[in-house]
Amino acid sequence: MPESVPPSSRIAGFGVSKGGSLSITAPSLVLAAAGAAAGPAGSLVIDTSVGNDGFQAFTFSATDSVSLAQGTSFVPVVQHFFNSSTLDQTGSAGELRTVTAPQALLAGQLAPTSITLSASSRADGTVTVGSGSTLDAGTQGSIFLAAGLTDQLNGTLRAQAGNVSLTLSGATIDDQTILTPVASRVVSLGSSAVIDVSGVSTAVTASNGIKSGAVLDAGNVTLNAQVGIVAMAPGATVLAHGASDTLDIPSGDHSYVRQTVTSQGGTVEISATNGLYLEGSFNAAGGGANASGGRLSVSDLAIYELANQQTSFGQDTALYDQLLKPHDMIIDGATLALPSGAASFPKFSGEARIASSLVNSSGFDQVWLQSADQISFAQSTSLAAKASLILSAPSLALAPGSAAGTTVKLAAPYVALGNVASLSSITPSWSNSPVALASGGTGSLQVNAGQIDLVGNFGLAGIGTTTLVSSGDVRAIGVTGVAGPRRSGTFFVPDRNPDHPGRRLVRSAENAA
């Protein structure tokens, strides 16, 4: 029988100017409205009305599972005790509610909450947000979902101008507890999933008609599957766009001018080691024509222990070989093919599949795409960004089966190609494979930018003609300590051969004359 905390059993966390923190731990836990259907057998059922009892930080932890029941909303309403002369005179051991009562916040006053759902077991730890359900942390709030095995989002996570994070708990790949269910280690966004960290206006209109406040930038979204897969189904949505509002701006002499104020798009960071399937939609556009769009980072990473040869897996050589498959980030303009569920995912694919619209039509001004081994193009593709476009991989290639004459066009004020991650102190550049040697083909690569950087050792495969056009500089940047068939700082394309003569054209403002 599920156990529950009855609504009559109350614990409050009201504070002066800030709410308290509530942490509940059980083997299995369900957040549900009063009278809702019970959760799994043995689950502790928590009434969502606990969000109205003054707390501002919530942590719901379990070993096996934590879930927000289908159709349930958990939207904490923060109230505070406010300082007053009566409150100041109350003894330190006095009951605050005998002299004052919690009050709603003033118009325009923010009280962001922090909500964490965590299921730690690497064997079956699952965090689920059911369809039709909502977690809302308020403006500038934070939501964290952390699972040992599976994060399953079918509802809505909202923290406008705040932070939303879905992660899999860290796991060393040679830990025997995760070898069997490794195919189920998934951060999954279902077809009805929504993540909303969009920008928002906090403006209020005073009694004198003056409208003041702020228009906040969009927040941050993190999807991270260490030793796992990130899968985003068609219909899933990530909102990280800026906002717009009209505010009265002081202009001197106690006068105001009403102006449109806009905010920037947010940051979306997605990373996995076992596979990436991104079919949903993103909106990270700025709040107006002159507002900056968002920042996108998608990384198909190698597993550290394998890339650094820190584990051998003993007798399980098949799994070891499987996990050592080269990583390939495939960029495709066609409809992607997402497996129907976690059960159909391979233990490891090393494959990331991304639609070109994620780069071109989602409002991101800065784009970082990274693969531990290779980024490939399935068909003729154009990628463009308003500020920067970075493709970090030891190899850029045409995918097997791509048509003859496939053309890849890259355009942005700043473009960087090659082992760019090796220059970063934040993003790892581990790889399971040496730098691929260049190979000829009928494909072509065209890069147009204000500045082009070619970083470290990298090769082009299936690309016979490369054209680099820059209105500024084209720089070759060497990287020390990076393994490869040629010295660091070498950008190489196919040498001439009888079948597909390789051609390299570099044009910059400095050599144009």
500/497 Cα distance (integer angstroms): 6
Token pair for residue 6?
A: 């009855």
In this predicted structure, the answer to whether residue 496 has a pLDDT above a threshold of 60 is no
Per the prediction, the chain carries an average pLDDT of: 81
Sequence-distant (6+) residues with CB within 8 A of 160 are 138, 139, 140, 196, 197, 198, 199, 200, 216, 218, 219
372/434 Cα distance (integer angstroms): 10
Closest CA to 281 of 367, 360, 379: 360
Closest CA to 238 of 278, 202, 208: 278
431-460 pLDDT, tens digit per residue, is 656 656 677 788 999 999 999 999 988 889
- What's the per-residue H, E or C state across 79-144? EEECCCHHHHCCCCCCCHHHCCCCEECCCCCCCCCEEEEEECCCCCCEEEECCCCEEECCCCCEEE
81/75 Cα distance (integer angstroms): 20
Token pair for residue 115?
A: 């909500």
The predicted model scores a pTM of 0.86
Sequence-distant (6+) residues with CB within 8 A of 46 are 4, 5, 24, 29, 30, 31, 32, 60
494/491 Cα distance (integer angstroms): 10
Side-chain half-sphere exposure of 402, counting CA atoms within 13 A: 26
Lowest mean pLDDT among 117-131, 197-211, 279-293, 493-507: 493-507
- What's the per-residue H, E or C state across 130-180? CCCCEEECCCCCEEEEEECCEEEECCEEECCCCEEEEEECCCCCCCHHHCC
59-101 pLDDT, tens digit per residue, is 999 999 999 999 999 999 887 766 666 666 666 565 666 666 6
Token pair for residue 243?
A: 């906002």
- CA angle 255-259-263, nearest 5°? 130
In this predicted structure, the answer to whether residue 190 has a pLDDT above a threshold of 50 is yes
Average pLDDT of the segment spanning 2-28: 73
314/311 Cα distance (integer angstroms): 8
Longest dimension (CA), the chain: 93
